[in-house]
Amino acid sequence: MAQKNKDVKKALIKEYGYICMAGGEVSKQNPLTMHHIIRRRDKGRTNTYNGSNIANMEHSGIHILGDRSIVKYKTISDYLQEYKELRDEVMRLQFHMWLVSEVEKEGFEEYITKGKLLMYKISQ
């Protein structure tokens, strides 16, 4: 039976804590969401092995980069799998700095949606 995103998210919180695996700050405006390390369109399953909890804004950044570059998609996937194994906090913060820098290079900036959630949007 297939798992649901919310169930995987809860299991990951229980195992790793209430953190963004991409180094983002979790808040009411930047809540955790479950991310598939291997995309569903690439036959990635919804389970704890393939899941990672990512804050909303960082999640949007991961998709911006991963949808534009297969190399960056692979870098992100490899990092998330390695983080889940090692739980290295320095690596998590370094990844976050890389992610923000790469998203900004793509011409995006952070903004707050009408629903008051942090996301990235293309710079004006």
The Cβ-side half-sphere exposure at 56, using a 13 Å CA radius, reads: 17
Residue 69 belongs to domain spanning: 5-122
Q: Going residue by residue through the chain, which has 124 residues, state the pLDDT in tens, using 9 for 90 and above.
A: 568 999 999 999 999 999 999 999 999 999 999 999 999 999 999 999 999 999 999 999 999 999 999 999 999 999 999 999 999 999 999 999 999 999 999 999 999 999 999 999 998 7
Residue found by looking up tokens 């804050």 in the block: 55
Q: Is the pTM above the cut of 0.85?
A: yes
Closest by CA position to 72, among listed 51, 30, 101 = 101
Domain count, the chain: 1
110 φ, ψ (degrees, to nearest 5): -80, 150
Distance from the Cα of residue 34 to its chain's centroid:
8
SS3 90: helix
